[in-house]
Structure 1
Amino acid sequence: MDLKQQALELHQQLRGKIEVVARKPIETREDLSLMYTPGVAEPCLAIQKDYDASFRLTRRGNLVAVVTDGSAVLGLGDIGPAAAMPVMEGKCALFKEFAGVDAFPICVDTQDVDQLVETIYLISKSFGGINLEDIAAPRCFEVERRLKERCDIPVFHDDQHGTAIVVASAMLNAARVTGKIASEMKIVINGAGAAGIAIGKLLLSMGFGNMVMCDINGIICAGDQGLNPGQEEIARITNTNREHGSLADALKSADAFVGVSRPNLVTAEMVSTMKDGIVFAMANPTPEIMPDEAKRGGAAVVGTGRSDFPNQINNVLVFPGVFKGALTVRAREITEEMKVAAAKALAALVPDNRLNPAYILPSPLDKSVSATVAQAVAATARAQGVARL
C-alpha cells in the first residue's frame, strides 16, 4: 500500500485528527454546577468586569485559530475551504503535539478580503492568537495587515513567516558550514509569492546580502510592469545590481538558491554556475531540483521540504514555538524582532561539533525545539514591550 492510500485509509478510520476533550470530568451534580450552571455565571461576570480575565478563566490564553479560505492549500492550490479541512486539522494536531497549544480549524467560505477580515475579527475574542494558513497571494498580505491593525492578539501567516524563519535558520547554519559571510552573499529566491517575499524580507533584516527575486517570468526588478503590490514592495529593496534575465542568469555566481515555486526548474548545470552553492529546493512533493542532481552540480549544502532527504526545512520547527512564546507572555503581536530571535534560537540548536552539510537543522520530530524557540520569542517580546505578562 502506498503512502497516498495509507493516508486516505487513516483519515477514513479516524474521521478527523483532533477532538474536543473536557479538562475536568463531569460526573456529579457538583461538577455540573461548577462547570456549567449556576457556577459558570461567576467567571462570566468576572470577565465582564475585567476583559483580561478572559485569558485566565477560559482556554482562550492557550487557544489558536487556524484559519484558511482554501485558496492555496499545501501545493494543491485553490481547492476550497471544505477540502482544506484535513490540512487545517493536521496543523492543529501539530500545535498540540509539539507545543501543547490548543488549536481549532476554521475554514471560511469566501475569498473576499473584506468578508474574510471581518469574519476572523468577529471571532477573535474566542482565541489567544490567529494563525492564517493557505491563503493565496497577494490577498494574504492585505488580510494579515488589516487583521493586525484590528485584533488585540497575535496574527501570524505561517506560509509567510514560519517559512521565512525556518529558511533563515537553515541559511545561518549553511553559511557557517561553507564559511560564507552573510552580508556578502547573493541569494536567489524563486517564487515571488507569500513565502518568497517573506523570506527575502527576513533575510535582509538579518543582514544577508543582495536578494534577487524571480518569478515565472524571470528576475524581478523595480519598475517592472505587472507586479502585484507585494512584489513591487520587495522589488524596491532587492536586486541592487538591477539584473535582468532568467532564473539561470540569476544563479550565475550566486551563493544560495531558495526555491518556493515549482518542480524541476533547476538543473545541475545551473547549480554548477553558483559559488559553492547552498541549494534549498522546497517545492513539495517534487523539489525544484533533486538533491543528487544539485550535488552533481557542485552544491555544498542541499535542503528540501521532504522528510526522506537530509536537511528537511519544515515549518513545524517554528510555528508551535513561536505561538507558545507569544501566548505565554500574552504578546500583542509577533514582531520582526521576535521572528529574528526565533530563527537564531533554532539555528543555535545545532552545535558546532554536529554541524555539517547534511545536518544544518534539528529534526522536525524533535519536540524539544519548540521550548527553545518559545523562550527566545517570549524574552524578545518582553524586551520590546509588546508582552502583557
Structure 2
Amino acid sequence: MNLHDEALQYHRENNGKLGVIAKAPIRNGYDLSLAYTPGVAEPCMEIHREKDLSFEYTCRGNMVAVITDGTRVLGLGDIGPEAAIPVMEGKAVLYKTFADVDAIPLSIETKDADEFIKTVRMLQPNFAGINLEDISSPKCYDIEDALKKEMDIPVFHDDQHGTAIAAVAATIGALRLVKKQLSDVKVVVNGAGAAGTAIVQLLLNAGVGHVIMMNSKGAMYEGMEMSRVNRVQESLLSKTNLNKEKGSLADVAKGADVLIGVSQPGSFTAEIVQSMKENSIVFSLCNPEPEISYKDAKAAGVKVAGTGRSDSPNQVNNVSVFPGVFRGAIDVRARQINEEMKLAAVYAISELITEEELREDYVVPDVFDKRVAPAVAAAVAKAAIKTGVARIVVDPEEVKAKTAARIEHS
C-alpha cells in the first residue's frame, strides 16, 4: 500500500484524527450535580462577576482555535473550507501531542475578509488563543491585523510567524556553525508572500545586516515599480536591499551567505547555490517538494542545507514553534503574541544545540526533541511578562517544568 492509499485509510478508519474526552467523570448523581445542575451555576456566577475567571473554571484556559477559510491550503491552493479540515484537525493533534494544548479545528465558509473577521471576533469567549491558518495572501495580513486590534487574546497566523521563527532559528544555528554573525551576512529570501515577508521582518528584528527579498519578477527594492507590491512588502522595502541590487535570483544570489526559499519547487539550481559565498547556507522550505533537495544542495557544495521535509537532516518546520509558543502564551494568559515573544522563541530553539553538538546536519533541533516545547514556552512566557502583555505572572522555569510534565503524560 502506498502513502496515498494508506493516508486515506488512516483518516477513514479513524473518522478523522480528533475526538472529545471528558476530563471529569460522571459516575453517579453527585458527580452529575457537580458537573451540571445545580453545581454548574456556581462557576457561571463567578465568571459573570469576573470574565477572566473563564480561563480558570472552563476549558477555555487551555483551548486554542485553529481557523481557516480554506483559500490557501498547503500547496493545494483554494480548495475550500471542507477540504481544509484535515489540515486544521492535524494541527490540533500536533498542539496536543507536542505541548498538551487543546485545540479545535474550525473552517469558516466565507471568502470575505470582513465576514471572516466578524465571525472569529465573536468566538473570543471560547478560547485562550487563535491560530489562523491557510488563508490566502494578502488577505491574511488584513485579517490578522484587524483581529489583533479587536481581540484580547493572542492571534497568530502560523503560516507567517511560525515559519519565520523556525527559519530564523535555523539560520542562527547554521551561522553559529560557520562562525558568521547575522549582522555581517548577506541573506536572500526567495518568495515574498506571507511566509517570506514574515521571515524578512523577523530577520530584521534579529539584527540582520543585509537582506534582499525576491518575488517572481526578481529582486525587490525601494523605488521599484509598485503595481504588484502589497502594503506589507512595501513596508519592508526601505529596510531591505539597501544597495538596490536588481535582477533574477541567479544574479542576486551571487556572493550571498544565506539563501532561504519559500517559493517554488526546483527554483534553486546547482549553479545558483554554487555562486554563493564560501560556507553557504541554504534552507529550501517549499513543501512537499523543496526549491532544491538536501542531497542536491550538499552535492553542489552547500555547507549547511535544510528543508521542510522530515526525511532529510535539518528539518525547518513550524511544528517546533507553535505548540510551545501557545503553551507559553496561554500559561500567562497573554493578550497577544508580540515581536519580543517571537524573538524569544527563535533564541530558545537556536540555543538548544550546544557549540559542541553543532554539525552540518544538525543546526536545528529535531521536531521530536522533547526539550523544544518547554524551552519555547518558558521563553515566550518570560517575554510576555517582561513586555506587559501577560494577565498573570508566573515563574518561566515553572512553565518549562510543567510543559515537560504535560508532554510526558499527554
Q: So what's the TM-score if we normalise by structure 2?
A: 0.93
Match for residue 252 of structure 1? 254
Match for residue 217 of structure 1? 217
Matches within 5 A, 1:1-389: 1-223=1-223, 224-225=225-226, 226-275=228-277, 276-389=279-392
User: How far apart are 1:292 and its partner, in Å?
Assistant: 2.2
Q: Distance in 2 between matches of 1:250 and 1:82?
A: 41
Q: Distance in 2 between matches of 1:325 and 1:173?
A: 22
Q: Distance in 2 between matches of 1:5 and 1:280?
A: 30
**Matched position secondary structure for 1:245:** coil
What is the percent sequence identity of the aligned residues?
52
Residues 121 and 150, structure 2, Cα contact 8 Å, conserved in 1:
yes
Residues 177 and 355, structure 2, Cα contact 8 Å, conserved in 1:
no
The one-letter code sitting in structure 2 at the alignment partner of 1:311 is N
User: How far apart are 1:37 and its partner, in Å?
Assistant: 1.4
**Matched position secondary structure for 2:235:** helix
Q: Distance in 2 between matches of 1:177 and 1:29?
A: 63
Residues 311 and 360, structure 1, Cα contact 8 Å, conserved in 2:
yes
**Matched position secondary structure for 1:349:** coil
Which stretch of structure 1 is more off in the superposition, 195-204 or 223-232?
223-232
The one-letter code sitting in structure 2 at the alignment partner of 1:242 is K
**CA offsets, 1:265-319, max 9 Å, x none?**
1111111110121000011111101122212322110000001100000101010
User: How far apart are 1:53 and its partner, in Å?
Assistant: 0.7
Q: Which runs of 4+ in 1 moved over 6 A?
A: none
Q: Distance in 1 between matches of 2:306 and 2:127?
A: 35
Q: Distance in 1 between matches of 2:52 and 2:290?
A: 46
Q: Distance in 1 between matches of 2:112 and 2:53?
A: 33
Residues 270 and 297, structure 1, Cα contact 8 Å, conserved in 2:
no
Q: Distance in 1 between matches of 2:219 and 2:82?
A: 36
Q: Distance in 1 between matches of 2:213 and 2:280?
A: 17
Unaligned runs of 5+ in 2: 393-410
Q: So what's the TM-score if we normalise by structure 1?
A: 0.98
Unaligned runs of 5+ in 1: none
**CA offsets, 1:337-388, max 9 Å, x none?**
1111110011111111110110011111123310110000101111111111
Residues 302 and 311, structure 1, Cα contact 8 Å, conserved in 2:
yes
Residues 253 and 275, structure 2, Cα contact 8 Å, conserved in 1:
yes
Q: Distance in 1 between matches of 2:263 and 2:5?
A: 26
User: How far apart are 1:250 and its partner, in Å?
Assistant: 1.2
User: How far apart are 1:191 and its partner, in Å?
Assistant: 0.9
Q: Distance in 2 between matches of 1:8 and 1:173?
A: 37
**CA offsets, 1:2-21, max 9 Å, x none?**
21221111001110101111
